Amino acid sequence: MGNLGGVLSDADLTDIAAYFVKVLDTTAHAPLFDVSGQWASIVQPWWALYVTQYAQRSLLTGGWLTFDGEGNAIWLYFYESGGWTAPDTYTAQLYRNTGPPFATAPGMGAPAPKATNAGTVALVFSDRDTADVTFGLDGIRISHRIKRVLYPR
């Protein structure tokens, strides 16, 4: 980029505009269908991932209750930290929360909830009702085939 101390050239402005189109155009890879809903593991039916898709299909949030290596319940989630890397693939930062129990009254000296970066999560959608989820947890890479849970109407 030339002339940093003065006026930008037309070529500089074109490069800057192209950069912002590339960075901000999250719909370029958005899927053709909405992936919101409850998704469950085929081999572990008690395990469920809840996904909500927002803003012209460009942002997903999701969370699920699962268990760590010792069998303790843990809550994992992702939000505002991901994007579509292909029309069928969404990747995001994965977080794990710790904090006081729900029954703890505010102001009782309990520690504030804390979000910890737990790694990344990738969702690859085969079709409207089938996907693969891959994430890392406690140094272990985990993959599951998941299906959308369809409730009778």
- pLDDT tens digit string along 26-71? 556 667 788 999 999 878 767 889 999 986 667 889 998 877 778 8
In a domain, 153, yes or no: no
Q: How many Å apart are CA 33 and CA 23, to the nearest integer? A: 22
CA distance to 6, 17, 125, 127, 148, per residue, from 35 (Å) = 47, 31, 8, 9, 9
Is residue 126 included in any domain, yes or no? yes
**Contact by Cβ (8 Å): 14, 33:** no
Per-residue pLDDT at 4 exceeds 60: no
136: enclosing H helix or E strand: strand 130-137
In sequence order, which residues have a C-beta less than 8 Å from that of residue 84 and are 6 or more positions away? 26, 28, 29, 30, 31, 58, 90
For residue 114, the model assigns a pLDDT of 82
51: β partners: 37, 62
How would residue 3 be classed by pLDDT, with cut points 50, 70 and 90?
very low
Q: Given pLDDT bands bounded at 50, 70 and 90, which one contains residue 97?
A: confident
**Maximum average pLDDT range among 3-12, 69-78, 106-115:** 69-78
Is 5 among the domain residues? no
- 107-131 burial: b if 16+ Cβ within 10 Å, else e: eeeeeeeeeeebbebbbbbeeeeeb
Query: What predicted TM-score, i.e. pTM, was given to this entire model?
Result: 0.72
Residue 88 falls inside a structural domain? yes
Average pLDDT over residues 117-131: 92
Region 108-130: what's the mean pLDDT?
86
Q: Which amino acid is at 54?
A: Y
Please report whether residue 1 resides in a domain: no
Rounded to whole angstroms, the Cα distance separating 101 from 90 reads 32
Q: What is the end-to-end Cα distance of the chain in Å, rounded?
A: 58
Across 4-14, average pLDDT? 66
For position 36, what pLDDT does the model report? 92
Question: Would 3 be classed as within a structural domain?
Answer: no
Q: Judge whether 76 lies within some domain.
A: yes
Q: Is the dihedral of CA 92, 97, 103, 108 positive or negative?
A: negative
23: in domain: yes
pLDDT for the residue numbered 91: 92
**Residue-level pLDDT at 139:** 79
Number of domains into which the chain is organized: 1
Which residue range forms the structural domain that includes residue 118? 10-148
Which DSSP symbol is given to 101?
Answer: -
Q: What is the mean pLDDT of residues 89-105?
A: 83
